[in-house]
Structure 1
Amino acid sequence: MTVITGLELSPRKVDYLKFILKKGRTVKTTEISSSFKVDPSTTSKTLNELAASGYLNHVPYKGVDLTKQGEMYAEFLIRRHRIMSLLLSHYGLSSEEACEEVSRFEAYVSKEAVDKICSAMGHPMFGVCGEITHEKCFHDEHRHE
């Protein structure tokens, strides 16, 4: 498996993978286009790039779903969002403000930085946006049971 730096994808691609993971099923291109208010041809181009990079499977006439690599990466993306949102909420932003603010810059925060922030915060299990999972992201010395 390729080492994840957290900086592999553009903000739009990050949003698409998180969206597909949250749906938990095959998602049609038109559903993604309308959710993000993007032209379907632009969405198709982005999805084809994600598929070529190994993150998605294209299911003809049905849409796209995550590969194992895509699922693991999307889980990291959700974890990163929740840790960064929790961090900002500790410095005066409301839950909603923190979530919105993190959405503006999260694609530029490395996995290494997220792991260090998570460790400094004591490996929180819950953030302002939901549960924070660690089992696929931790070094062996810090596994939660």
Structure 2
Amino acid sequence: MNEQSYPEFTGLELSPRKVDYLKFILEKGGTVKTTEISSGLQVDPSTTTKTLNELASAGYLNHVPYRGVNLTELGKAYTQFLIRRHRILSLLLTHYGLSSEEACSEVSRFEAFVSRDAINKICSSMGHPMFGVCGKISHENVCMKEIAIEHLTKY
């Protein structure tokens, strides 16, 4: 499943803290225990449990009490977008003189407030970059169509 399967998400549905939870779970991979999340994000276990329950109720996670959590298909698609958003914005800031480290740090402060539509437009204006300062940049189906058209018109 990919981002395009969920055209209704704008990228603004979640608070910056909930974004951190999803990214942490993606980085760990598989099923992640609540205690590991609490420790990794330096959050009280009761707060972690409450947030995980909210994310599960919204459809981003499968939460099995006393076992842990893993991403649903929606959670995976949304988290892929979160990574893409971070990488595009970080790359954008390096074009304005910030180092890779500075760009990643700055983007972490505001990325949760940038919509999916804005990211798609920024990505297009940058020529659909394949690599950012933080790694490979994936593209949505809409962007892939634009890339193919641009490629065909060049030759």
TM-score, normalised with respect to structure 2: 0.87
The one-letter amino acid of 2:84's match is R
TM-align CA RMSD: 1.4
Matched, 1:66 2:92: no
Within the candidate set 87, 91, 106, 1:86 is matched to 91
Within the candidate set 31, 36, 57, 2:36 is matched to 31
The one-letter amino acid of 2:100's match is S
The structure carrying a bigger helix percent of its residues is 2
Unaligned runs of 5+ in 1: none
Shift of residue 109, structure 1, vs aligned partner: 0.2
Q: Among the aligned pairs, what percent are the same residue?
A: 72
Partner residue of 2:146? 142
Q: How does 1:1-145 map to 2 (within 5 A)?
A: 1=6, 3-134=8-139, 136-139=140-143, 141-142=145-146
The one-letter amino acid of 1:138's match is V
The one-letter amino acid of 1:141's match is K
How many residue pairs get aligned? The number is: 143
Unaligned runs of 5+ in 2: 1-5, 149-155
> Contact conserved, 1:76 with 1:137, CA < 8 A, in 2?
no
The one-letter amino acid of 1:120's match is S
TM-score, normalised with respect to structure 1: 0.93
Q: Give the Cα–Cα distance (whole angstroms) in 2 for the partners of residues 142 and 20 of structure 1.
A: 31
Bigger radius of gyration: 2
